[in-house]
Structure 1
Amino acid sequence: MHPIESCVRNPVKVAVGALLLILFGVIALIGMPMQLTPEVQTPTLTIETRWPGASPQEVEREIIQEQEEQLKSVEGVTKMTSESMDSSGRITLEFYVGTNMEEALLKVNSRLQQVPEYPEEADQPVISTS
């Protein structure tokens, strides 16, 4: 017996088979982990500078703006954000994926050394990676 003849003679079996294929396909699609873009860790450096007793405005004016002025020319930086709080300030630098972070750390440290002057009571900046 030819397969086409059996399909024509038994349309209900063909319809049930097609529905089962569609059902199992949908179940497989739902159960399959799908991700359009891979999770990529963006290389970042965080510079935190403490200044006990200083207001956020003082931290911004005396520390953060001076550091940002020096750090804006660091190669590979895609985004720079800063935050000023009571007694401390934080600058976060995001780099291109694949950036050599040891090299970037050295460049950032070198640029921070070029900040003209920190307030007398302020601590030296602390650089951390993530």
Structure 2
Amino acid sequence: MNISRPFIERPIATSLLMVAVLLAGLLGYHLLPVSALPEVDYPTIQVYTQYPGASPDVVSSSITAPLEVQLGEMAGLKTMNSTSSNGVSVITLEFDLALSLDVAEQEVQAAINASASFLPTNLPYPPVYSKVNPADAPVVTLSLTSDVLPLTKI
């Protein structure tokens, strides 16, 4: 038996079947959900520590390094980036997507508490952490300057 024989013998039925399959495909295509950027809540936390008057080397060795040691031991940590500048240490932690942001927050708090004995005793403010969404970065940053007007007028 030839599989194409019934379709050749009935051209009108074949055409109607083809139109039905085409319409079902077009309808299905329009009903597909599409998202250019999926809504994923990346578990990202930023640890911010101030040490006024300290140089970047001092901040790096006395604040950033001890915090990195404690924070680096957390389960589910994907990446850790740190920046040490004049009087400020910023550590950005990105966790696996499978890890809940609330669980990551508890782990960060525990690591900060564990590193308290390794931080300088004259640290005026304890390290502060906050949840960060990397997708919230601004698209455009505008900077204004003037040689004529004061900063308050700009």
Paired position in structure 2 for 1:9: none
Structure 1 residues 38, 56: CA separation in 2 closer, same or farther (over 3 Å shift)? same
- Compute the TM-score of the two structures, normalised by the length of structure 1: 0.67
Paired position in structure 2 for 1:73: 73
Aligned length: 97
SS where residue 124 of structure 1 aligns?
Answer: coil
The Cα RMSD (Å) is: 1.8
Q: Is the 8 A contact 1:52 1:121 kept in 2?
A: no
| Unaligned stretches of 5+ residues in structure 1 | 1-32
- Compute the TM-score of the two structures, normalised by the length of structure 2: 0.57
> Partners of 1:51 and 1:103 in 2: how far apart?
28
Structure 1 residues 72, 114: CA separation in 2 closer, same or farther (over 3 Å shift)? same
Paired position in structure 1 for 2:56: 56
- Structure 1 runs of 4+ with >6 Å offset: none
Q: Is the 8 A contact 2:56 2:85 kept in 1?
A: yes
Paired position in structure 2 for 1:17: none
Q: Is the 8 A contact 2:48 2:89 kept in 1?
A: yes
Cα drift, residue 101 of structure 1: 1.2
> Partners of 2:109 and 2:127 in 1: how far apart?
9
> Partners of 1:76 and 1:48 in 2: how far apart?
20
SS where residue 42 of structure 2 aligns?
Answer: coil
Cα drift, residue 102 of structure 1: 1.2
Alignment identity in percent?
32
> What does the per-residue CA deviation read over 1:10-29, in whole Å, with 9 as the maximum and x for residues that have no partner?
xxxxxxxxxxxxxxxxxxxx
* Residues 39-118 of structure 1 mapped to structure 2, 5 A cutoff: 40-115=40-115, 116-118=117-119
> What does the per-residue CA deviation read over 1:18-48, in whole Å, with 9 as the maximum and x for residues that have no partner?
xxxxxxxxxxxxxxx885x746442200000
| Unaligned stretches of 5+ residues in structure 2 | 1-33, 133-154
SS where residue 127 of structure 1 aligns?
Answer: strand
Paired position in structure 2 for 1:127: 129
**AA at the equivalent of 1:117:** F
**AA at the equivalent of 2:130:** S
